[in-house]
Structure 1
Amino acid sequence: MAARASRSRGAVPTKCLRWPMGAERPIILDGGLSNALEDRGHDLSDALWSARLLRDAPAEIAAVHRTYFAAGAMVATTASYQASVRGFAQAGVPEREAERLISSSVRIARDVRDEFGDGRLVAASVGPYGAFLADGSEYRGRYGVPASTLRDFHGPRLELLIDAAPDLLAIETVPDVDEAEVLVELLRELDFPAWFAYSAADGKTRAGQPLADAFAVTAIPQVVAVGINCCDPDDVRTAVATAVAVTWRPAVAYPNSGAVWNAEARAWAGEPADFATLAPAWVASGAAYVGGCCQVGPAQISELAKALDAQHLAK
């Protein structure tokens, strides 16, 4: 893949690069796209997950973006986490149509963003290779494939997403350093801003590598924030502090609700965490981008936004 000339470095609004820590209000992210779509009655049990609705019900994706913005989110994360040309091909979608659908994820979010204005951002979601496998391996990593396979998978869709003109990329739920190294090299070549979030537990990546080592891999100019997502809320504060100490960048944090997935029952169990109470400590530790992942909906994002607004006004 040939390196391209930068068209977007510096295009991310200044407030997106909040530094030094504590100088500005944190950027409120949205919550889980899939659970919000399921709450609207959609079955996302197939391998394409929420990406299927790029083809079947794009207006529903737009409706969820709209709901999160109305709840106080300043960033719409696109429905491209599970979207890839190979994944669509396995569902019988021709290559050109697959490329159009991936690009459309950004257009849908941009159109809704433009309805609201006020400096809102669109982050094009880039899920890990394990999301394409659809076997839970994004929570294990170490796929057993060479770096060239990961590069061939990620490179073309990164270019598709960048060409659709998001404000930045959301590289998310990355389970191990092996995949991170490939993605970081691609970001360097494409010279496009991104936040970078690992899936993590107990101070390590899902593959068991120390988070300090994993964060160090991401310390390139194109990565504007680094942290974790799709994790237990209790893991956030320490991970954020580690990310800031290692990279000297703002952190990004958007954990799951705190409920636990029961694979046998195929259902979430347990009570959600109180994000409004927990999030101020995440911000104090260096989180500049704060939101939610699985099972976090518009109501929790609204509560989170109000709590962080109150914290900011009290300074």
Structure 2
Amino acid sequence: MKNKFEPFINEKGFVILDGAMATELESRGAHLNHALWSAKLLTEDPELIKQVHYDYLLAGADVITTASYQASFEGFAKNGYSTEQAVELMELSSKLAFEALDEAMKVMPRKVKPLIAGSVGPYGASLADGSEYRGNYGVSIEFLKSFHRQRMKVLIETGVDLLACETIPCLDEAIALKEVLAEFPGTQAWISFSCKDDRHISSGEDFADAVKLLDQTDHVIAIGINCTAPQYIESLIKIGKANTSKAILVYPNKGEVYDAVDKIWLPSITNHAHFIDDAKVWYAAGSTIIGGCCRTTPADISQLKQLS
């Protein structure tokens, strides 16, 4: 099974991921202080989601990630949507990405066509209480497998190139994702963790153990860190490199702290205004797949072309 990232690595030595979806939507006027977060706009303003995808592609992103992070059957059900409606909205998240890619390729053709990654957010995202930054779910691995299985199936069947299993806060959820991925032959994915410091994932478990857990899993083609403060990333990359031969993927936030109660971002205590300066450090440390998470913008992603 050929690694989906290989053509980009062969062409220029690295892969550029896109940046934030929800906070970019908010910067364009969307009101997302809601349990469904960016998935809310799948019904309210899908064209704005497509425009954000398009802008990241024009900025140079090699991968765009669907607006399905917060899209789960349980989350939609809590907000009055039927199972059929939930499926339609998950399918729409992929459709918007494909349409944006088709439009971008017409105005800016690429030697290597960008990829579409189906976003699979953590169980904690469906709780809308910040649990993805704690990992203290109190549920079984089997429960987590059941939570993820059907939504992953829907996204895979839309034809996305790979899955982005992101902001994973604990080993149990990584185990669940690893086991569910094995049920879908031919599917490739990355798994990225939310980390609380330069050594531990959000649950307090060692990042090294998370990497080792996924090292021998063929379906997982990259392991990484996302929605984590930039100052922790270099150390985490080095831990990753020491424990796997897989590609290390990073897409941190801009350093602000998320208040899950009020659903707002608090100012950073450190200065990370120059995204490319941090990205060059991460690239030198061994990460070959780099993008941005919350608060990053198409302007930040455009800077990543300077890595070459």
TM-score by length of 1: 0.89
Match for residue 254 of structure 2? 257
**1:76-87 maps to which residues of 2 (within 5 A)?**
76-87=64-75
Aligned-pair CA distance for 1:80: 0.4
Q: Distance in 2 between matches of 1:164 and 1:262?
A: 34
Q: CA deviation at 1:42?
A: 0.6
Shift of 1:206: 0.4
| Offset of residue 302 of structure 1 | 1.5
Equivalent of residue 227 in structure 1, options 198, 201, 224: 224
Q: Which residue of 1 aligns with 2:90?
A: 102
Quote the sequence identity (%).
42
Match of 2:79 in 1: 91
User: Does 2:149 match 1:155?
Assistant: yes
Please name the residue that 1:55 is paired with: 43
| Deviations 1:52-85, CA, capped at 9 Å, x for gaps | 1112211110010011111121111110000011
Give the equivalent residue in structure 1 for 2:266: 268
Q: Residues 264, 194 of structure 1: CA spacing in aligned structure 2 closer, same or farther, 3 A cutoff? A: closer
Q: Is it true that 1:196 corresponds to 2:191 in the alignment? A: yes
Instruction: Give 2:188's aligned amino acid.
Output: P
Q: Which runs of 4+ in 1 moved over 4 A?
A: 262-265
What is the RMSD computed on CA atoms of the aligned residues?
1.8
CA contact (8 A) 1:258 1:273 kept: no
SS of corresponding position for 1:190: coil
Distance 2:151 2:257 in 1: 31
In structure 2, distance between residues paired with 1:146 and 1:261: 27
What are the superposed Cα offsets for residues 207-252 of structure 1, whole Å, 9 maximum, x if unpaired? Answer: 0011110111112111111110000111111211221221211110
Query: 2:294 aligns to what SS in structure 1?
Result: coil
Alignment check: 8 A CA contact 2:3 2:221 kept = no
* Structure 1 residues 151 and 216, CA gap change in structure 2 (3 angstroms): same
Distance 1:44 1:211 in 2: 31
**Aligned residues of 1:76 and 1:109 also touching (Cα < 8 A):** yes
* CA deviation map 1:8-65 (0-9, x unaligned): x44836325x48xxx8431111111011100110100110000011122111100100
Give CA-to-partner distance per residue, 1:132-156, whole Å, 9 cap, x none. 0100000000200112211111000
Contact 2:228-2:252 at 8 Å conserved across structures: yes
**CA distance in 1: counterparts of 2:156 and 2:118, whole angstroms:** 8
Deviation of the 1:264 alpha carbon: 7.3
- Cα distance in 1 for residues equivalent to 2:154 and 2:59: 29
Gaps in structure 1 of 5+ consecutive residues: 1-8
User: Could you tell me how far 1:92 is from its partner in structure 2?
Assistant: 0.9
**Taking structure 1 as reference, are residues 115 and 264 closer, same or farther at Cα in structure 2, changes over 3 Å only?**
closer
Task: Please state if 1:217 is matched with 2:213.
Answer: yes
In the other structure, the counterpart of 2:296 is: 296
Indicate the residue corresponding to 1:243 in structure 2: 240
Look up the match of 1:207: 203
- In structure 2, the partner of 1:3 is none
Give the match for residue 5 of structure 1.
Answer: none
Matches of 2:157 and 2:73 in 1, distance apart? Answer: 15
TM-score by length of 2: 0.91
Displacement of 1:263: 5.9
What corresponds to 1:6 in structure 2?
Answer: none
Query: What's the CA shift for 1:296?
Result: 0.6
Shift in Å, 1:300? 1.2
Name the aligned partner's letter for residue 20 of structure 2.
G
Q: Report the counterpart of residue 33 of structure 2 in structure 1.
A: 45
Structure 1 residue identity aligned to 2:53: H
What CA distance in whole angstroms lies between the structure 1 residues aligned with 2:102 and 2:244? 33
User: Which amino acid is 2:184 matched to?
Assistant: L
CA distance 1:89–1:264, shift in 2 (3 Å):
closer
CA distance in structure 2 between the aligned counterparts of 1:259 and 1:86, rounded to whole angstroms: 29
Q: What is the rounded CA distance, in whole Å, between the counterparts of 1:51 and 1:264 in structure 2?
A: 19
Instruction: Find out whether 1:185 has 2:179 as its counterpart.
Output: yes
Give the distance between the partners of 1:259 and 1:61, measured in 2 at CA. Answer: 23
- Counterparts in 2 of 1:13 and 1:256: CA distance versus 1, 3 Å: closer
Q: Quick one: distance in 1 between partners of 2:6 and 2:208? A: 27
Give 3-state SS (helix, strand or coil) of 1:88's partner. Answer: helix
SS of the residue 1:73 aligns to: coil
CA contact (8 A) 2:195 2:225 kept: yes
Equivalent in the alignment of 2:282? 282
